[in-house]
Homo-oligomer: A and B are copies of this chain.
Amino acid sequence: MHPPTPAMKRVTDAAGNRFADLSYDEVSLSDIANDLGIRKASIYSHVESKQALFLTVLDEAFQVEAAFAQQCFDSESASSLPGMHYCESLPKRYGESMHMRFLLRNAYLPPKSLSTRVSSSYEDYLQRLLEAFISRLRQRSATALTEQDFSQFGDAYLGIIDSLHVELIYVGAQRFEHRLRALQRLLSAGLELAEKVREEIK
């Protein structure tokens, strides 16, 4: 609602950084307080509970990263493979944005007690990616693909996204670039073939 106070911002930032690296239960309010150089009890001057703190960070992360994704799609050149700009931006973004790390770490295996809230946010995030991707695909192959194709390539795209996301959160993951090229190749081939088929039919 109202813009958060700077003090509040410091708290959610510290919390976000912890929650981005560790599971909900692995993070204690003492840790966060320590990071901030304040006492545990002081956190409650800014936040109602650990849950509320987590959810604040979640909303923030969702908002920030949905905007980032949108921007990736908006700035994508018309000639490139749909959705690839987002994919290619991921490693840098993951390294630089605590919110992205937070989002991915908590998307797949949220704390049981908060799973519905988290899932619905992440579903929302994926939904936006899906729509942006399909929109780009329509620009590229408006007449060449059926509605069913759009839908199926959308499924594939989300599959690729999850695959890349997961690769980022792997502990020692160094395969990201390889995986990206490999899946890119598949998507490219898939589209090429589909477009050719439709042309032949005509």
Contacts and interface: CB of A to CB of B under 8 A. Distances in A.
Please tell me the size bucket of the interface on A: 35 or more
B23 A172 contact: no
Contacts of A158: 175, 179
A66 interface: no
Interface of A: 22-23, 25-26, 105, 108-112, 115-116, 119, 123, 152-156, 158-160, 162-167, 169-172, 175, 178-179, 181-183, 185-187, 189-190, 192-194
A185 B156 contact: yes
Number of copies of this chain that the complex holds: 4
Contact of A186 (B22, B119, B156): B156
B23 A185 contact: no
Contacts of A169: 108-109
A179 B159 contact: yes
27 contacts: A23-B23, A23-B109, A23-B112, A25-B26, A108-B108, A108-B109, A108-B166, A108-B170, A109-B169, A110-B171, A119-B170, A152-B178, A152-B181, A155-B179, A156-B182, A156-B183, A156-B186, A158-B179, A159-B167, A159-B182, A162-B162, A162-B163, A162-B166, A162-B167, A186-B189, A189-B189, A189-B193
